[in-house]
């Protein structure tokens, strides 16, 4: 979707608490892989994720994938559980290059 900076949407039930945990993990991953300054991150409640996803390159959600998202979905539950983060990390890095 974007030319230049990737637009990343992070979502959880309220758009605040668990999405902030995921955001910090995603930012650390992106900085560690040299993407600093090449992305923008916004957070929204899951109830707004479907409509907002139209304007983003991908979404990382700390809940199940909402129906009908309009961009690629990355499972952010892994960042809360500490299990399976490699899969989510790999998908984010792949989407950053897409």
pLDDT tens per residue across span 13-33: 876 789 999 999 999 999 999
Residues 40, 94 contacting (CB under 8 angstroms): no
Residues 26, 9 contacting (CB under 8 angstroms): no
Instruction: Give me the CATH code for the 6-97 domain, please.
Output: 3.40.50.2300
The answer, yes or no, to whether residue 2 has pLDDT greater than 70, is no
For 55-72, what is each residue's pLDDT tens digit?
A: 999 999 998 776 789 999
Residues 61, 49 contacting (CB under 8 angstroms): yes
Nearest residue to 44 (alpha-carbon basis) of 18, 74, 68: 18
pLDDT at 29: 98
Q: Which two tokens stand for residue 21?
A: 């945990």
Cα–Cα dist 51/68, whole Å: 9
Boundaries of every domain in the chain? 6-97
pLDDT at 68: 85
Nearest residue to 39 (alpha-carbon basis) of 54, 57, 62, 24: 57
pLDDT at 3: 58
């Amino acid at each position: 979707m974007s030319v230049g900076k990737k637009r990343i949407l992070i979502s959880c039930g309220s758009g605040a608490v668990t999405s902030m945990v995921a955001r910090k993990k995603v930012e650390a991953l992106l900085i560690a892989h040299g993407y600093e300054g090449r992305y923008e991150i916004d957070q929204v409640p899951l109830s707004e994720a479907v409509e907002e996803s139209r304007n983003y390159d991908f979404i990382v959600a700390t809940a199940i994938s909402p129906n009908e998202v309009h961009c690629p979905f990355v499972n952010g539950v892994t960042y809360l559980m500490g299990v399976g983060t490699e899969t989510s990390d790999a998908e984010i890095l792949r989407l950053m290059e897409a």
